[in-house]
């Protein structure tokens, strides 16, 4: 098994949410928000999210595509011991390699389950050939990483535990900085003002979020950028356009 990965700088990310239970509504998806929040704090831009069923060919095709288009890909789900846990096999197929039982993971499973450890449990020790196992001090149970594809569990409690190793291993080229302006105006009234700011500051992400039935404000406008001077300039440009009495507060 190759050594654990060192810290890497990545710019863009994609997420692949896997499971029939998600598409059927049997299980509420709970991992995307946690992943997006983690990546944003690291300065990594989550650009695309795809949800697909437990189908080897579909997963393999999507992994192959996403891994070419984005710096890093995270899969969620399909890494357990049952018949529909096919993510490892699919990722291996995406890269044209076989799978094998990693002895270090097999030992962890054997130690954890003792005499009850079965062939089904050992399915969780399967890894694609050429993958590496990444751990951190808080969670010794390894995360399988095949090139730029991280294979994470679908169980939300375990998924959140795995986020620590992402924080210790990946970072973006620069942190995202954010400002927010809370206004008394409807989105329709804000549109011509925002259009001007967006046209002048293509490198600043501008968001508009109405708050219905809330007496404290009507619309929150957010500004996100990597360069502080561009962020402040965009906010200043917006503040010059909006009537002073329409602004509640700036954060």
Residue 61: give the domain boundaries: 8-171
- Asked whether residue 3 is assigned to any structural domain, the reply reads no
Residue 1's pLDDT band (boundaries 50, 70, 90)? very low
Rounded CA-CA distance 71/65 in Å is 12
- Asked whether residue 115 is assigned to any structural domain, the reply reads yes
Cα 222 → chain centroid: 21
Cα–Cα distances in Å, from 119 out to 90, 100, 102, 144? 20, 13, 13, 19
What's this model's pTM, rounded to 2 decimal places? 0.91
Question: Which positions ≥6 away from 193 have C-beta within 8 Å?
Answer: 238, 241, 242
Give alpha helix (H) positions in 180-222. 187-200
Lowest mean pLDDT among 68-77, 86-95, 116-125: 116-125
Lowest mean pLDDT among 9-23, 67-81, 109-123, 151-165: 109-123
Instruction: Of 12, 70, 158, give the one whose Cα is nearest residue 62.
Output: 70
Residue 145's pLDDT band (boundaries 50, 70, 90)? very high
Residue 80's pLDDT band (boundaries 50, 70, 90)? confident
Q: Are residues 113 and 224 in the same domain?
A: no
- Asked whether residue 63 is assigned to any structural domain, the reply reads yes
Q: Are residues 13 and 134 in the same domain?
A: yes
Q: Are residues 181 and 165 in the same domain?
A: no
Number of structural domains (the chain) is: 2
Does residue 183 contact residue 50 with C-beta atoms inside 8 Å?
no
Rounded CA-CA distance 41/230 in Å is 19
Q: If you search the block for the tokens 């357990």, which residue do you land on?
A: 80
- Asked whether residue 23 is assigned to any structural domain, the reply reads yes
Q: Are residues 58 and 150 in the same domain?
A: yes
Q: What is the DSSP letter of 166?
A: H
Q: Are residues 49 and 151 in the same domain?
A: yes
pLDDT of residue 7: 77
Rounded CA-CA distance 90/71 in Å is 19
Rounded CA-CA distance 181/157 in Å is 34
């Amino acid at each position: 098994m190759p050594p654990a990965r060192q810290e890497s700088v990545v710019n863009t990310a994609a997420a692949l949410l896997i499971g029939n239970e998600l598409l059927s509504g049997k299980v509420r998806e709970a991992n995307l928000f946690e992943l997006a929040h983690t990546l944003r704090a690291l300065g990594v831009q989550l650009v695309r999210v795809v949800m697909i069923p437990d189908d080897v060919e579909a997963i393999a095709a999507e992994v192959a595509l996403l891994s070419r288009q984005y710096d890093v890909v995270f899969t969620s789900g399909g890494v357990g011991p049952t018949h529909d846990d096919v993510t490892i096999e699919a990722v291996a197929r995406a890269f044209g390699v076989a799978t094998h039982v990693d002895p270090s993971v097999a030992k962890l499973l054997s130690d954890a389950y003792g005499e009850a450890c079965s062939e089904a449990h050992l399915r969780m020790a399967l890894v694609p050939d050429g993958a590496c196992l990444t751990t951190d001090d808080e969670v010794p149970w390894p995360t399988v990483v095949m090139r730029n594809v991280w294979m994470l569990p679908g169980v939300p409690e375990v998924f959140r535990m795995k986020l620590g190793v992402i924080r210790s291993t990946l970072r973006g080229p620069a942190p995202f900085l954010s400002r927010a302006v809370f206004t008394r105006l409807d989105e329709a009234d804000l549109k011509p003002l925002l259009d001007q700011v967006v046209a002048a500051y293509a490198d600043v992400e501008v968001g508009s979020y109405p708050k219905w039935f809330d007496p404290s404000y009507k619309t929150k406008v957010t500004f996100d950028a990597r360069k502080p001077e561009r962020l402040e300039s965009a906010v200043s440009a917006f503040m010059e356009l909006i009537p002073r009495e329409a602004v509640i507060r700036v954060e």
